[in-house]
Amino acid sequence: MQDETASFTAVLQQVLTEIRLVKASNAEALEYQNGKKGIQKLFQFGLKEAKIQALIAPLMSFVMMALLVLILGYGGMRVSSGALTAGALVAFIMYLFQIIMPMAQLASFFTQFQKATGATERIISILDSVEEEDAKQPVQNMSQSISVDHLNYSYNNGEQVLKDLSFNVEAGKVTAIVGPSGSGKTTLFSLFERFYKPQQGSISIGGKSINDFTLHSWRSQIGYVSQESPIVSGTIRDNICYGIDRDITDEELTQVAKMAYADQFISELPNGYDTEVGERGMKLSGGQRQRIAIARAFLRNPKILMLDEATSSLDSKSEKVVQQALNDLMKGRTTIVIAHRLSTVIGSDQIIFLEKGKITGSGTHKELYNTHSLYREFAQQQLHKVELA
């Protein structure tokens, strides 16, 4: 019953959160049938449970009554023959009731225990999962080069995603990671953030492995702006200040919003910084969500900036504004950029080209254009006219 409830809730959540996709795809009938099947299964399990309960309760009552009749009959015979006193018989019956009631409660407890086991099975499996390993030493100096040394990583299915990667990210400079989809770029970012641990190799800064630092101190020095620009339910103020463990003044908030070119659209909203953004920021456009994410990164004032295709889903006008905000954010910071569009990374100090988890080329745009055939093909397709000066 609990498993089926969980399955039905998942379907319900999926349909309600993506209702526009359902309607646009004319999938109402399909989802209606899926929901109907879930409800019917819940009804069948509920009916089965009710039948079992309807059978058990009268059966237990019958057993207790039959036992009482037998004891009264046999006890009456013993009292009439003088082998047992009437007081002893009454005491025995009272003791019997004292035992029967707890036994009935025990049977009811077993049923409730089975329900609770089904409901908490997934929670227990999550609680038993391995926690993130943490160190005790806070990170001291982030203004140093990051070194990736013979890095290998594979997911649980065994397929190797990153294969023997070695390169350096110079402090205060821009390193771009480009390549076809599925080459392992986002996985590499996850390793920088320490969401995963590599099976072999290491990532170090200033000669020390990043795993030697506390997770809180390491992640507090990283500003991550992703393609999806995640927004939490709440106000614009809540989203810009998200994860900051100190009080933020209105002046600071206004300043970072201005730096991210978000102050203009925020001032036009009915409640300004206290405007509710809705679930997953649905009341905001893609460019507005992205500028809030950049303002959040400005407020964190990170030493390392990671940009995961931060302008790919924007229109040309929004992209221009967001790109200018990103350029301001990148100044003086160690920056790692994932990009599919080469126009955003031509000016990078170093470009790493990834193919199927391997580095097949590195250098500046001009160097890669002259030496790397696939990069040259990418450039010709996207840029049409390549400036090599």
Closest-CA residue to 22 (of 228, 13, 285): 13
Closest-CA residue to 89 (of 104, 76, 102): 76
Closest-CA residue to 359 (of 155, 167, 145): 167
* Tokens, residue 269: 């909203």
Whole-number Cα distances in Å, 273 to 132, 247, 258: 35, 15, 13
Burial of 338 (C-beta count, 10 Å sphere; 0-12/13-18/19+): buried
How many Å from the N-terminal Cα to the C-terminal Cα in the chain?
68
Whether the CB-CB separation of 281 and 319 falls below 8 Å is answered with: no
Helix residue spans in the chain (DSSP H): 2-17, 19-24, 28-81, 86-127, 185-192, 215-219, 236-240, 250-259, 263-268, 286-300, 316-330, 365-371, 373-383
Whether the CB-CB separation of 233 and 278 falls below 8 Å is answered with: yes
Query: Would you call 309 a catalytic residue per the annotation?
Result: yes
* Tokens, residue 375: 């990069």
Amino acid at residue number 338? I
State the CB neighbour count (10 A cutoff) for residue 214.
14
Active-site residue, selected from the candidate residues 309, 319, 367, 387: 309
Q: Please give the torsion angle defined by the CA atoms of residues 97, 100, 105 and 106, in that order, rounded to the nearest 10 degrees.
A: 150
Whether the CB-CB separation of 304 and 333 falls below 8 Å is answered with: yes
Distance CA 292, CA 321 (A): 12
Which residues are marked as active site? 309
